[in-house]
Amino acid sequence: MNGVDGGDELDEVRMAAWALIDVALPQACLPGVRANLQILAGHAAVVRSALVDETTEAAEVFRP
């Protein structure tokens, strides 16, 4: 995880995060989910690189 040295403890944290999602993943889904996570990671990086620090999402319901 980006050079973070966590070992077993990091695995525990990951498992705890996964437990929050609480969806059983059939074996057949794993390759597709992994591929889609890689795509989303790329998009998330684009989003992060575009952020200006002080911008916030203020409204509960988006209004144009």
Partner 1 sequence: MTRNITDALGLAARVHAGLESAESVVAACLSDIAARDPGLNCFTAVLADRARADAVAIDARLRAGKPVGPLGGVPFAVKNLFDIEGLTTLAGSKILAGRPAATKDASVVQRLRAAGAILVGALNMDEFAYGFSTENSHYGATRNPHDPARIAGGSSGGSAAAVGAGFVPITLGSDTNGSIRVPAALCGVFGLKPTYGRLSRAGSFPFVDSLDHVGPFARTVRDLAAAYDAMQGADAADPACSPPDDQPLLPTLDTPDRGLRIGILGGWFRQGASEEALAAVDRVAAAFGERAGAAKVVNVELAGAQAARSAAFCLTGAEGGSLHRRRLSERPLDFDPATRDRLLAGLMLPAGVLVECRRVRRQFQAEARALFETVDLLLAPATPCAAPRIGEAIVNIAGRDTPVRANLGLYTQPISFIGLPAISAPVSEVGPLPLGVQLIAPAWREDRLLRAAHWLEQTGVTRAPAPVA
Q: Which residue has the tokens 């990671």?
A: 41
Nearer to partner 1, 3 or 32 (CB): 32
Q: How many residues bind partner 1 (CB under 8 A)?
A: 34
- Binder of partner 1 out of 4, 15, 19, 39 (CB under 8 A): 39
Q: Does 61 bind partner 1 (CB under 8 A)?
A: yes
Q: Does 44 bind partner 1 (CB under 8 A)?
A: yes
Name the nearest CA neighbour of 18 among 31, 28, 33: 33
Q: Does 40 bind partner 1 (CB under 8 A)?
A: yes
Which pair of structure tokens corresponds to residue 5? 């040295």
How far is it, in rounded angstroms, from Cα 64 to Cα 62? 7
